[in-house]
Structure 1
Amino acid sequence: MKWTTLLSTERLTLRKMELADAAMLFQIWSNPEVTKFMNIDHFTDQTEARDMIVLLNNLAEEHKAIRYSIIETESNDIIGSCGFNSLDLDHAKAEIGYDFHFDYWGKGYAPEAISCLIDNAFHHLKLHRLEAKVQPENINSAKVLKKLKFTFEGTLRESEKSKGKWIDLDLYSLLVSD
């Protein structure tokens, strides 16, 4: 399997993360509002962003996951990241994840970027199913998924430990046939 390392939409370019992205991604991941519903604490040092990029790129080399930097085409600024958090080729499915710089919330970038991921998943990777796990309190993320026609399947009670406590996760899915 070969990853598509560059994807694009009307306003965005999704490019496989590079170490050179660390400074701009640190600006995003250091904001507690951005990481509030992520399974990481907000970063306090740019080396944490570099380490995360190395980890994610290693997972991509092993065909287990891939993360893209989301670049606003007009400004050439990195405004977030998205990708496949886990890839299960045996069952033709993947879990998606995404985050955006606080200044870009509510401007339609999330549905635009995720639509691009969906297209790549179903047409290039030939996946059958996409999943997204969202904390029930993350109303904005749930709205994005519903807008993109993901189906709410239920709540996974205390299914993960995040920041020292057990959390519920709402499971959403999208099938290639949807």
Structure 2
Amino acid sequence: MFNSIHIETDRLKLRPIGLHDLDQVFAIFSDVQTMKFWSDPPMQDRAQAKKKVLRNVQANQNNAALSLVVESKVQQNMIGQISLFNIHQDSARAEIGYVLSRSHWQKGLMTEAISAFISFCFSDLNLRRLEADIDPANAASAALLKNMGFSLEGFLKQRWLIDGVITDSEVYGLLKSTWLDKHPL
């Protein structure tokens, strides 16, 4: 099912990732500023990008995780990615992650993409809860999550070791009922 998901907004298409996205994946995930708050260091070569894309394609095929490209309708190319992972069907919950190419920051594009993605998760996938784990220093991501209705639920000290640097995490949560109060399906 995950390989057939397509979501459209006014300016964007969300579609399954594929090998044709390899150059854009490398461009996004190798950018030091874009990856500043990510849980992996920036990619150093295209082989890493290919491995990531193949892993995402396989996860989509197995319905183990969902990786969607955020594609600009105007430019008709990948400008970001949204993922759903650690999916617990019995508990109807999962984690989300997202990244946007630096050249597209501050344009409301991720707000548009995440809003459509959340609606899809709660309606089509019938999830009850979404979670997000972010670096506490990532003010833009915290603002996005709060704007979407997520609540800060926890602070995890020294959770990640990335390129020799230990970082903390903030954990945010959003319930379907909270989302539906503001965004009826």
Report the TM-score range of the alignment, normalised by the length of the smaller protein: over 0.9
1:166, distance to aligned residue in structure 2 (A): 3.3
Aligned residues: 177
Counterpart residue number, 2:75 = 75
Q: After superposition, what is the alpha-carbon deviation per residue over 1:85-118, rounded to whole angstroms, capped at 9, x for unaligned?
A: 3211121111000001111011001111111110
**Gaps spanning 5+ residues in structure 1: where?**
none
Percent pairwise identity? 31
- TM-score, scaled relative to structure 2: 0.91
The separation in 2 between residues aligned to 1:91 and 1:163, in whole angstroms, is 33
Can you list the C-alpha shifts for 1:157-176, whole angstroms capped at 9, x where unaligned? 22233333432110111100
Once residues 61 and 158 of structure 2 are traced to their aligned partners in structure 1, the CA distance between those partners, rounded to angstroms, is: 31
Amino acid of the structure 2 residue aligned with 1:116: A
* 1:63-106 Cα distance to aligned partner (Å, 9 max, x none): 22111111011111211111203211121111000001111011
Q: Distance in 2 between matches of 1:167 and 1:43?
A: 19
Partner of 1:138: 138
2:35 equivalent to 1:42: no
Unaligned runs of 5+ in 2: 179-185
What is the alpha-carbon root mean square deviation over aligned residues? 1.3
Q: What amino acid is aligned across from residue 75 of structure 1 in structure 2?
A: Q
1:102-141 alignment runs, 5 A limit:
102-141=102-141
Cα distance, 1:20 vs structure 2: 0.6
> Does the CA contact (< 8 Å) of 2:92 and 2:128 recur in 1?
yes
Displaced runs of 4 or more, over 3 A: none
- Aligned residue in 1 for 2:13: 13
